[in-house]
Amino acid sequence: MLKSERQEHILREVNIHNKVLCSDLSIKLRVSEDTIRRDLNELAEQDKVIKVHGGALSKSYHTSTYRQAEVYSLQEKTIIAGKAVTLLKEGMLVFVSGGTTNRELARILPPHLSATFFTPSLSTAIQLMEHPSSEVILLGGKVSRNAGISVGGEVIRRLTELRADLCILGTNSIDPEEGITDSDWEVVQVKKAMIKRADKVAALALSEKLNSTQRMKVCDINQIDYLITELPARDSRLLAYRKRGLEVL
Amino acid sequence: MLKSERQEHILREVNIHNKVLCSDLSIKLRVSEDTIRRDLNELAEQDKVIKVHGGALSKSYHTSTYRQAEVYSLQEKTIIAGKAVTLLKEGMLVFVSGGTTNRELARILPPHLSATFFTPSLSTAIQLMEHPSSEVILLGGKVSRNAGISVGGEVIRRLTELRADLCILGTNSIDPEEGITDSDWEVVQVKKAMIKRADKVAALALSEKLNSTQRMKVCDINQIDYLITELPARDSRLLAYRKRGLEVL
DNA sequence: AAGGAAAATGCGGATTTCTGCACGAAAGGG
DNA sequence: CCCTTTCGTGCAGAAATCCGCATTTTCCTT
């Protein structure tokens, strides 16, 4: 039996039973426990399983109950989300894109605010779902594995039939000259459609994303109305954006 | 039982009941109280629980981090999912409804299987997203807060444009006479549409759901092709269904 | 096809971890 | 204040892990 074949088998086993024991696998696959252990360690390094004393545990089982843990820069993102909330008014129709910052926004939404949210993002939708008084409409389509959002013609077609008061855009790269840029073509198409059909556009970005660019253009800087970062509005790093007419929160 | 597995269990227990006693856990998990106490101390060091005399208290009780509902009867659901997987073939177009059993199915999907999945369920879609070789298409629409799926005319309209090889239906109530029933009108509409547009229908149900009915009818028993429970196919409780012509797995 | 380097595997022994038990100290309840 | 329950610690046996090394397998080059 080949090594990779064996590891496939182990992975399948661990996903079905949520746990495996070195001793069991050793017998079932007719190899020494050392080999199993080595396999498990490799799989653990690739984040496929979680290695523990005596065997291994399934990752998805473990992380699905625990998942809250790893939003990086959570502190900053919460600040950003807090500022963004001030733009929301009763009864608004709002587009929300993907990303953890927007998820954070959904989480801290004031409970009484009743607005209608359209989003292609799975995680944002799930978070919004827990909000008591808002309506959530999911834009469906082919799901992009990397981005965790729906993409494709159907999403864009639906967007063209709508008109939003506000579009809240998670931003990977923003630059005073180049505007907002991104790296995934499908995602760019969706963002473009959202911007086009919204009266106002708010860009949410960690300060580390400022003055960076990527391959594909989403929009010009003057198409954006609000720029929200975790920095105070008067921070010098934001000067270039204020000069361009953006309202910096 | 593995140590880490045991600690998972303890954590789950403490989060459900808000408190646990060493003595209870010792009996339930069949280890000495010393071991439990050591576990609780470790969990307390990691700030997962609050250790008190005689047991421990839940921490999240105070911090109100709303956690994804615990998957109850996970063991049984994994068995069901395992059987359901055998119905899936390369290249199929499959409808998948919501529910934790279907989420479990998505989780244990063989990595190599490449199929196309349509689902209105957010959690199923998120789980399927992690699958390397399958395509996931999310059916978008108004999100139903209780069910965690998209509902409404748009979903149903999209479904009528499709034709699936298989429909995998999470089931809340099934009865040999009454067929499948459910309690949420919107959800029922979606399930009806899915059944109508699929060549074969598989109903996934915990045995506790057998022979129960609810207010609204989803479909007749003879519209279902496969019945999958955690019980062995020959179990007497399934006899009535076999007699009706369902293939019981 | 043959040869050889690299990777994979199994094994023995040293080390670490896990677990239950015993005993004395501490905490809690009436 | 006494009695019961719980706690902490040390210890011992069992299991799991780590480490180095010899042997086998795999794969690539010539």
Protein residue minimizing CA–C1' distance to C7 = A3
Is B2 in contact with A57 (Cβ distance < 8 A)?
Answer: yes
Instruction: State the pLDDT at residue A99.
Output: 85
- Give the full edge-to-edge strand order of the sheet including A164-170: A247-248, A226-228, A198-204, A164-170, A93-96, A116-119, A135-138, B141-144, B149-151
Instruction: State the pLDDT at residue B70.
Output: 53
Instruction: Report the C-alpha gap between A231 and A218 in whole angstroms.
Output: 23
Instruction: Report the C-alpha gap between B132 and A145 in whole angstroms.
Output: 9
- Express each pLDDT in A103-142 by its tens digit: 888 888 888 899 999 999 998 998 888 888 899 999 989 9
Q: Which CATH number does the domain B74-248 belong to among 3.40.50.300, 1.20.1260.10, 3.40.50.1360, 3.90.1150.10?
A: 3.40.50.1360
Which residue type is seen at B11? L
What mean pLDDT, rounded, does chain B reach?
A: 88
A65 at the B interface (CB within 8 A)?
yes
Chain A hits for B154, Cβ within 8 Å = 140
Lowest-pLDDT choice from A48-62, A151-165, A222-236, B224-238: A48-62
Nearest in space to A206 (alpha carbons), one of A235, A236, A182, A228:
A228
Please check whether residue A151 is in contact with residue A189, taking contact to mean a CB–CB distance below 8 angstroms: yes
Q: How far is B219 from chain A (nearest CA, A)?
A: 26
Domain with CATH 1.10.10.10 in chain B: 3-63
- Candidates B68, B127, B150; nearest CB to A140: B150
- Give, for A126, the enclosing helix (H) or strand (E): helix A122-129
CA dihedral A234, A235, A237, A242 (to 10 degrees): -10
Instruction: Report the C-alpha gap between A89 and A44 in whole angstroms.
Output: 47
Chain A hits for B2, Cβ within 8 Å = 19, 21, 52-55, 57
A234 touches strand C (CB under 7 A): no
Please check whether residue B165 is in contact with residue B201, taking contact to mean a CB–CB distance below 8 angstroms: no
Q: A54: which residues sit within 8 A by CB, 6+ positions away? A: A21, A22, A23, B2, B3
Domain with CATH 1.10.10.10 in chain A: 3-65
| pLDDT higher than threshold 90 for residue A240 | yes
- Express each pLDDT in B59-103 by its tens digit: 754 433 334 445 666 778 888 999 999 999 999 999 999 888 998
A9 at the B interface (CB within 8 A)?
no
- Candidates A21, A143, A155; nearest CB to B136: A143
- What letter does residue A133 receive in the DSSP assignment? S
A74 at the B interface (CB within 8 A)?
no
Query: B181 vs B143, B145, B170, CA distance in Å?
Result: 21, 19, 11
Instruction: Report the C-alpha gap between A15 and A9 in whole angstroms.
Output: 10
- Express each pLDDT in A159-204 by its tens digit: 999 999 999 999 989 999 999 999 899 999 999 999 999 999 999 9
Instruction: Report the C-alpha gap between A88 and A86 in whole angstroms.
Output: 5
Fold annotation for A3-65:
Arc Repressor Mutant, subunit A (1.10.10)
Domain with CATH 3.40.50.1360 in chain B: 74-248
Architecture of domain B3-63: Orthogonal Bundle (1.10)
